[in-house]
Structure 1
Amino acid sequence: MYKTDICILGAGPGGATTALHLAQKGISSLLIDKATFPRDKICGDALSGKVVNELRRISPELPELFSREQAVQVPSWGIHFISPGGQKLSVPFKYNYKPEEDAPAGYISKRIDFDNFLIEQVRLRPEIKLIEGADITRYERQRDGSFTLSDKEGKIQVEAKLLIVANGAQSAFTRHVAGLQQEPEHYCAGLRAYYKGVEGLDKDNFIELHFYKDFLPGYFWVFPLPNGFANVGVGMLSSAISSKKVNLKKEMLRMIETHPELQKRFGNAELIGDIKGYGLPLGSKKRSLSGDNYMLVGDAGALIDPFTGEGISNAMISGRWAAEQASNCLEQQDFSAAFMQAYDKAVYNRLWKELKLSRQMQKLLNYPWLFNQVANKATKNQALAETISCMFNDLDLRERLKQPSFYFKLLFN
């Protein structure tokens, strides 16, 4: 039996970040995960500049520490968007970047390695009690609002005043206690595979997003990894998969085997391991992220970017705010749903504008001709290319994507 003020379910980036921020405040927590680290996690493996910033918020030296782990990561300097018409739009994360001088804006690292990097930081903190290999399946609320938790066998029991739920997209707590349901319009299905020997990977490790006209509104990706590996996958809204009766695995293999460019690049490539599937609850609508004595963090709170599919940074951001709210709860000894609303407000104040804009960008996939036009113009117009590059770091610039005048000028100037 463990008694604790704060129990965190799930030791991925969201849960680990929460525990580390609490430790920085001198607050103890119990961190539980059903796996034993290092463990794999099905993901695109891209770590954006937002992830780097969140590492820095945990501790200023963490980005530099991670950059030294050269066997497990590659620095990434941007994104290649390949339009339905085959036009490549290259968007650096920083315009006029210099790899030999600038600190990387982002990285690509297998989740087995990145998550373990965070867990190694957790192991250094005496304030954090980490329990691995414990699958919590029972949640019982006590009269005072606190929770009693246990695993299937009843070998582990936990009493916690505050529960921070960071155990991912398939969280039973999210569905059965918090009441968040899977909605096909706000849910994406994805497949991920690891290949070795894919040709034509970018020298500066730009990630590739291919929007093939025969696979819209889905996309195909290729992300470079260390040691000649690449993360290769596809993603599509669940509602589209259902309405179009799409078999994602068949479509992914079909594109590799039949699209001329992919056929050439994958000609000598080797599939390493299995093609694995996963679900992405998208942050394309606001949901309740908390209630009496609990908060939802990251994928458990459906905070994944609707356009890029990125979830790691938003998990870490919500974890940071969960730690802040938990500190306030302990100070005030108030764990009520009303008091917990400050957490929802803080998370959406930081993320909603961005999530809403990404939802608009997602809808652009319904207009492939417009996508082609943007890509075509940007390859010929340096000012437009720079503007699009800045959009990835400047939300005010990204607001232009919502304005009809932006497209009018683009089409007729």
Structure 2
Amino acid sequence: MHKTDICILGAGPAGATAALHLANKGIPSLLLDKATFPRDKICGDALSGKVVNELRRIAPELPAQLGEQQEALPSWGIHFISPGGHKLSVPFMYNYNPEQDTPAGFISKRIHFDDFLIEQVRQRPEIGFRENVDVAKYERMPEGGFILSDKQGQALVQAKLLLVANGAQSGFTRHVAGLEQEAEHYCAGLRAYYKGVAGMDADNFIELHFFKDFLPGYFWIFPLPNGEANVGVGMLSSAVSRKKVNLKKEMQRMIASHSELKKRFANAEVVDDIRGFGLPLGSRKRIISGDNYMLLGDAGALIDPFTGEGISNAMISGRWAAEQAAKCLQQQDFSAQFMQGYDKAVYNRLWKELRLSRHLQKLLRYPWLFDVVASRASKSQALAETISCMLNDVDLRERFRQPSFYAKLLFN
């Protein structure tokens, strides 16, 4: 049995980021994952500007190194397509020059991006990285900390502090931390890889389509290297249950019947099966720590409720978990009360953004209003730039909560 102060469960973006920040502080950790890398992870594969910023915080050279990867495609923004077909384009940066500027975002399959982070992990002697380790049981020790065992009951690790970053289906999250899956705060998604989808944006903007006959869900198309695209759908689990929606059939129906999609997918072919995944949304605050543990990323339900983005928030939680872990070791205090510093730090950084995204999610109940906003913005560059600023700036985004914003759009 391996004894360690800090054990990190899950080597995705949250866990790898935490391990790398700890290594930067000279603090050793044990990083476990049940898979062997490179491994796939069902996801939208978009890496926003927030991801680029978090990479830079790990090491200033990482964004440029990612950009040199053939598997990473530079992306410069998002297209929101309203129920009425109006396009609202939101660049990640203004007056950008794709020929000269460092990309504000990327799109990369998770099998490649996660392996990119793991390659950084493998270079750090402070990190003990073990693959193909499936932890099935968590036993509290009387003196504090946990003993982790496999399915056969064999003890694998004894740790004072657990950083739990093993995803949306984390057994620890459900059985130890007691976080239940809530349909109103959980999204069901499907993803497939296509080749030959026509009409992709020249600057690799990702696309979020909000079709009238699929609300409150959304359909996405994200360009990828080598002429591929990540295509998928997402919808609140409560809506899927209430409407008895078969997401796979709906995804195929939209591709086959919507005039624009039908044309764009005419010569496209699926290169991977349609696969499902769950997204625990950060649309309400939760307690994401306790005695001797912290919940990171999807295990802590930190996904953006409007865009479905989870990678950047996972990396942010990994950074703050490393900060808190360093304080715990310094003070030798692993209590739930002391661990609340992690919850406060994460929500100080993310809650305003998550709350506003929840508000935008609720706007889908009023598709006509979404149409008005997108229609006016498509005809006015000044308004489009204003809305782009609002979506990129959390403080400005508060205006979306104000009725006066919509009144001005409707009556001016």
The one-letter code of the counterpart of 2:300 is G
The one-letter code of the counterpart of 1:79 is I
Q: Does structure 2 retain, via aligned residues, the 8 Å contact 1:34–1:136?
A: yes
Same amino acid, percent of matched pairs: 78
Structure 2 counterpart of 1:51: 51
What SS does structure 2 have at the residue aligned with 1:14?
Answer: helix
Distance in 1 between the 2:57 and 2:89 partners?
29
**TM-score, with length taken from structure 1:** 0.99
Structure 2 counterpart of 1:74: 73
Q: Does structure 2 retain, via aligned residues, the 8 Å contact 1:136–1:151?
A: yes
Q: Does structure 2 retain, via aligned residues, the 8 Å contact 1:94–1:390?
A: no
Structure 1 counterpart of 2:214: 215
Distance in 2 between the 1:121 and 1:176 partners?
32
**Gap runs ≥5 in structure 2:** none
Structure 2 counterpart of 1:39: 39
What SS does structure 2 have at the residue aligned with 1:5?
Answer: strand
Q: Does structure 2 retain, via aligned residues, the 8 Å contact 1:94–1:389?
A: no
Structure 2 counterpart of 1:406: 405
Residue by residue over 1:45-88, the C-alpha shift from the partner in whole angstroms, topping out at 9 and shown as x without a partner, is: 0000000000000001110111111x201111111111101111
Q: Does structure 2 retain, via aligned residues, the 8 Å contact 1:73–1:109?
A: yes
Quote how far apart the aligned CAs of 1:273 are.
1.8
Range that drifts further, 154-163 or 104-113? 154-163
The one-letter code of the counterpart of 2:54 is E
What SS does structure 2 have at the residue aligned with 1:80?
Answer: strand
Range that drifts further, 216-225 or 390-399? 390-399
Q: Does structure 2 retain, via aligned residues, the 8 Å contact 1:93–1:392?
A: no
Structure 2 counterpart of 1:381: 380
Distance in 1 between the 2:84 and 2:241 partners?
25
Distance in 1 between the 2:159 and 2:45 partners?
33
**Gap runs ≥5 in structure 1:** none
What SS does structure 1 have at the residue aligned with 2:5?
Answer: strand
Structure 1 counterpart of 2:26: 26
The one-letter code of the counterpart of 2:139 is E
Quote how far apart the aligned CAs of 1:143 are.
0.4
| Aligned positions, number | 412
Distance in 1 between the 2:100 and 2:384 partners?
22
The one-letter code of the counterpart of 2:177 is A
Range that drifts further, 163-172 or 379-388? 379-388
Q: Does structure 2 retain, via aligned residues, the 8 Å contact 1:42–1:111?
A: yes
Alignment of 1:9-408 (within 5 A): 9-69=9-69, 71-154=70-153, 157-408=156-407
C-alpha RMSD of matched pairs (Å): 0.8
Q: Does structure 1 retain, via aligned residues, the 8 Å contact 2:137–2:153?
A: no
Consecutive aligned runs of 4 or more in structure 1 exceeding 4 Å deviation: none
Residue by residue over 1:85-132, the C-alpha shift from the partner in whole angstroms, topping out at 9 and shown as x without a partner, is: 111121111122211122111000000000000000000000000010
What SS does structure 1 have at the residue aligned with 2:174?
Answer: helix
Quote how far apart the aligned CAs of 1:393 are.
2.4
Distance in 2 between the 1:335 and 1:99 partners?
47
Distance in 1 between the 2:262 and 2:155 partners?
51
The one-letter code of the counterpart of 2:170 is S
Distance in 1 between the 2:382 and 2:197 partners?
33
Structure 2 counterpart of 1:6: 6
Q: Does structure 1 retain, via aligned residues, the 8 Å contact 2:209–2:219?
A: yes
The one-letter code of the counterpart of 1:141 is R
Residue by residue over 1:187-206, the C-alpha shift from the partner in whole angstroms, topping out at 9 and shown as x without a partner, is: 00000000000011111000
Q: Does structure 1 retain, via aligned residues, the 8 Å contact 2:147–2:155?
A: no
What SS does structure 2 have at the residue aligned with 1:4?
Answer: strand
